[in-house]
Structure 1
Amino acid sequence: MDARAYIEDHKGEFFTALREWLAIPSISADPEHHEDVRRSARWLADHLTGTGFPTVEIWETPGLPAVFAEWPASDPSAPTVLVYGHHDVQPVDPVEEWETDPFTPTEKGTSLYARGASDDKGQVLFHALGVSASLAVSGADAPPVTIKMLIEGEEESGSVHFAELMKANRERLACDVAVISDTTMWAADTPSMCVGMRGVTDVEIALYGPERDLHSGSFGGAVPNPLKIMSDLLSGMHDADHRIAIPGFYDGVVEAGAEERELISRLPFDEREWLATAGSTAARGEKGYSTLERVWLRPTAEINGMWGGHTGAGGKTIVPRSAHAKISFRLVPGQEPLEIQARVREYVEAALPEGIRAELEFGGPGVRACASDLSSTALKAARSAMGRAFGKEILFTREGGSGPEADIADILDAPLVFVAVGLNEDRIHAPNEKVEMPLLLKGAESAAHLWEELGTARDA
């Protein structure tokens, strides 16, 4: 029996288990559901124990629990692989927009609707089926690589305790490669691997001028206007080619290679359709890069909001006392959020004329970007494993969002490989989240092949 046949024979048990897990409303952001998050952790621990993992533990944090499991390879020299995912889910608001109960898993054709179906319970669970398929094919009592799983319970509420949890358990989590199953593919008929995620940091800037709003007829044109200074400051953040003009902003940026850009160019991207989804009539961004490259490979500075002075009905002729703006920066590999914050502060302070005072408030330390090494043995093994499961060449994508993956790579000193089968159309974080059931089975097959591929690639 091969892996595909085993998975086909056991898909009924797999989906029965998944429906049971999805029925647990493990919403980490809602204190009223924290006991449900704990119940979700216990469910997963029991399931992994039933799969055969000899070590399964629930790891408490100051917040909500993670689940750790380990299944050593029979050969102690075999590589060690850590699988990361999360068992908590997003809130379901607005619940009235759901066509089915979010915690009553419902099949429609090949789709399974429920909160967490794609993000991330379905993608976590296919690894358990993949391990079982791998053992059934080999006839062995242990997998060809040591498999560890770390499934956290706070990803959807900021992973606030996750870094410290990894640091406290660094030795037990030691691995040769970390497999991430919390992303998406390009499309069901265009399988792909995510090879990077952008980081992020944000700031609120407040500029203060006169002690109070001033009559513009008496003082206008003779004292600095905070809104005018803010307008100049924000417009100066980009040059004529839409490149960020903050000095030092691009220091250390790791440019994407020609191979990755070529594979991205082969994706069946319809810019007009993309613009329709965005409700925009034109694409615009950094010169020299395609639209996909702009949202995946390049850093950004986006003005999220700007306000000050009189914004109510009617006129009010004043020089306002203050101006405010919120700005977010998406970052790429090689950029450190705290260093970017320092460059932004320097840029603002250098732009201030006499009579204007600035206050900057950053939204925490930020999140670092991450990227896979396209030349690594581990990535090549994962790409081959997915190719065997899908029967197609696996292309590359990145994601514009941010997550804890950079912390995993840094704390565990392990390369990242993304093996995931979610789709952008799965409506993650939105009403009517769903997952394509055939893709979860492809994910399980990919995982089964991955253990075999990594088991023969001892330099992973």
Structure 2
Amino acid sequence: MDVREYITAGKERFFADLKEWLAIPSISADPARHPDVRRSAEWLASHLRETGFPTVEVWETAGLPSVFAEWPAADPDAPAVLVYGHHDVQPVEPLDEWETDPFTPLEKGDRLIGRGASDDKGQVLFHTLGIRAGLTASGATAPPVTIKLLVEGEEESGSVHFPELLRAQRKRLACDAIVISDTTMWSEDVPSMCTGMRGLSEVEVALYGPDTDLHSGSFGGAVPNPLHAMATLLAALHDADGRVTLPGFYDDVVPLTDEERELFARLPFDEAQWLRTAGNSRVAYGEKGFTTLERIWARPTAEINGMWGGHTGPGHKTIVPREAHAKLSFRLVAGQDPVKVQESFRTWVERHTPPGIRAEVTTLAGNVRPCFSPIDSAGVRAAKRAMERAFGKEVLFTREGGSGPEADLADILEAPLVFVAVGLNSDRIHAPNEKVEMPLLLKGAEVSAYLWDEMATALRPE
């Protein structure tokens, strides 16, 4: 029986298992659901044992549990590959917008609707079907590489305890490459691989002037106005070409290669349609010299998320306000450090605050570092070949604007990232009626079946 025959024969059992797992409401952000997150971990551990993994463990953290599994290669000198995913899911509100109970999975044609179907239970589980398919087709009892799985239980609530877990279990997790199955492809008929995710850094700035609000007729134009100062400050954050003016902001940015730009350009991107999905925006905008896809995937940004101060209620109140506030976020790309950007912003504000105004900059928690996977790396080339075998067509490359714990994985385990996923942007991830395309999950299983042979060859030292 070859790989495709095995997957076809096993698909009904696969989807029955997935529905059983999706029915567990493993919402890590809701303390009332923490017992369900634990139940989800135990379900997965049991399933991995049934799949054939000789070692399966539920790893405790100071928060919610992760699941670890290992299947050693027959050759002790074979490379090791770690697969990362997560078994916790997002909250489900608003409930009245769902077609079904979020935890009663519903098949609708080729779609499976339910919280976690795409993000990330479906994309974790396709590996179990793929591993069995590859072993059956080859007649082997062990994979050609040592396969390790690490499935986190707190990704949807910030992976707060994940770095500590990685450091504590670093020896057990040692690997030659890390496969991430928690992203998306371009479309059903344009298979692609993600090669990077942007990071995030957040700050809040407050400007203070007089001790109290002042009558603008008596004092306007004669003392500094914090709102005027804030407007001037924020307007100076970008130059006429849309570039961020913080000193050194671009110094560490890993630039796009000509090949990456060419591959991005080959994607069938309809900018007019994209603008409609962007809240019916009227025009594309951003850093001069880059396309829209390059801007949202591979260039850093500074965004004003909110600003307030003075009188904002009904009617008039003619004052010079005592203070002004703003919240900002920076989306960062490969090479940039969130903490370094925050400190650069703090210094920039100090230098641009006018006399008579006092500035306070608050750096917010939750920094996320960007991650990057070069398209010419051995692991990426191997995964691309596996995807092309499964899909029967060329695989292109994308990046993503969102972010997760991938940078921690790469840095702490000192291994390169490889993104292998079959989700779609249309899967309504984090939204009501999250779904996954069932044929794509089967394609994912096929990719997984081919992946290990390709990795075994690509990751061996020459």
Q: TM-score range by the shorter chain?
A: over 0.9
Q: 1:169 aligns to what? A: 169
- Per the TM alignment, residue 80 of structure 1 is displaced from its structure 2 partner at its CA by 0.3
Q: Distance in 2 between matches of 1:154 and 1:373?
A: 27
Q: Residues 297-335 of structure 1, C-alpha deviation per residue, up to 9 Å, x if partnerless? A: 100001000100011111111110000000000000111
Q: Distance in 1 between matches of 2:57 and 2:233?
A: 52
- Per the TM alignment, residue 259 of structure 1 is displaced from its structure 2 partner at its CA by 1.0
Q: 2:125 aligns to what? A: 125
- Per the TM alignment, residue 457 of structure 1 is displaced from its structure 2 partner at its CA by 2.1
- Per the TM alignment, residue 281 of structure 1 is displaced from its structure 2 partner at its CA by 1.0
The question of whether the paired residues in 1 share the 8 Å contact of 2:379 and 2:459 is answered with: no
Return the letter of the residue paired with 1:161: H
Which of 353-362 and 224-233 deviates more? 353-362
Q: 2:206 aligns to what? A: 206
Query: How many residues were matched structurally?
Result: 460
Q: 2:285 aligns to what? A: 284
Q: 1:234 aligns to what? A: 234
Q: Distance in 1 between matches of 2:252 and 2:446?
A: 38
Secondary structure of 2:4's aligned partner: helix
- Per the TM alignment, residue 366 of structure 1 is displaced from its structure 2 partner at its CA by 1.0
The question of whether the paired residues in 2 share the 8 Å contact of 1:303 and 1:327 is answered with: yes
Q: Distance in 2 between matches of 1:431 and 1:378?
A: 35
Q: 2:315 aligns to what? A: 314
Q: 1:255 aligns to what? A: 255
Q: 2:384 aligns to what? A: 383
Q: 1:15 aligns to what? A: 15
Find out whether 1:432 has 2:426 as its counterpart.
no
Secondary structure of 2:284's aligned partner: coil
Q: Distance in 1 between matches of 2:457 and 2:196?
A: 25
Return the letter of the residue paired with 1:381: A
Listed as ranges, the matches of 1:15-414 within 5 Å are 15-278=15-278, 279-364=280-365, 366-414=367-415
The question of whether the paired residues in 1 share the 8 Å contact of 2:82 and 2:177 is answered with: yes
Q: Distance in 1 between matches of 2:198 and 2:277?
A: 21
Secondary structure of 1:10's aligned partner: helix
Q: Distance in 2 between matches of 1:240 and 1:282?
A: 17
- Per the TM alignment, residue 459 of structure 1 is displaced from its structure 2 partner at its CA by 3.3
The question of whether the paired residues in 2 share the 8 Å contact of 1:337 and 1:365 is answered with: no
The question of whether the paired residues in 1 share the 8 Å contact of 2:158 and 2:366 is answered with: no
The question of whether the paired residues in 2 share the 8 Å contact of 1:377 and 1:459 is answered with: no
Secondary structure of 1:327's aligned partner: strand
Q: Distance in 2 between matches of 1:251 and 1:233?
A: 22
Secondary structure of 2:304's aligned partner: strand
Q: 2:455 aligns to what? A: 454
Using the aligned pairs only, state the percent identity: 70
The question of whether the paired residues in 2 share the 8 Å contact of 1:29 and 1:156 is answered with: yes
Return the letter of the residue paired with 2:447: S
The question of whether the paired residues in 2 share the 8 Å contact of 1:233 and 1:351 is answered with: yes
Q: Distance in 2 between matches of 1:304 and 1:406?
A: 25
- Per the TM alignment, residue 354 of structure 1 is displaced from its structure 2 partner at its CA by 1.6
Q: Distance in 2 between matches of 1:34 and 1:458?
A: 39
Return the letter of the residue paired with 1:72: P
TM-score (norm 1): 0.99
Secondary structure of 2:122's aligned partner: helix
Q: 2:422 aligns to what? A: 421
Q: Distance in 1 between matches of 2:446 and 2:391?
A: 9
Return the letter of the residue paired with 2:242: H
Q: Distance in 1 between matches of 2:458 and 2:367?
A: 35
- Per the TM alignment, residue 256 of structure 1 is displaced from its structure 2 partner at its CA by 1.3
The question of whether the paired residues in 2 share the 8 Å contact of 1:338 and 1:365 is answered with: no
Return the letter of the residue paired with 1:436: E
Return the letter of the residue paired with 1:56: V
The question of whether the paired residues in 2 share the 8 Å contact of 1:86 and 1:120 is answered with: yes
TM-score (norm 2): 0.99
The question of whether the paired residues in 1 share the 8 Å contact of 2:67 and 2:149 is answered with: yes
- Per the TM alignment, residue 365 of structure 1 is displaced from its structure 2 partner at its CA by 5.6
The question of whether the paired residues in 2 share the 8 Å contact of 1:135 and 1:142 is answered with: yes
The question of whether the paired residues in 2 share the 8 Å contact of 1:205 and 1:326 is answered with: yes
Q: Distance in 2 between matches of 1:459 and 1:141?
A: 21
Q: Distance in 2 between matches of 1:120 and 1:39?
A: 16
- Per the TM alignment, residue 458 of structure 1 is displaced from its structure 2 partner at its CA by 3.7
- Per the TM alignment, residue 247 of structure 1 is displaced from its structure 2 partner at its CA by 1.0
Return the letter of the residue paired with 2:178: A
The question of whether the paired residues in 2 share the 8 Å contact of 1:185 and 1:422 is answered with: yes
* Ranges of 4+ aligned residues in structure 1 off by more than 4 Å: none
- Per the TM alignment, residue 246 of structure 1 is displaced from its structure 2 partner at its CA by 1.0
Q: Distance in 2 between matches of 1:146 and 1:56?
A: 14
Q: CA RMSD in A?
A: 0.8
- Per the TM alignment, residue 2 of structure 1 is displaced from its structure 2 partner at its CA by 1.7
Which of 389-398 and 250-259 deviates more? 250-259
Q: Distance in 1 between matches of 2:335 and 2:140?
A: 42
Gaps of 5+ in 2: none
The question of whether the paired residues in 1 share the 8 Å contact of 2:78 and 2:460 is answered with: no
Gaps of 5+ in 1: none
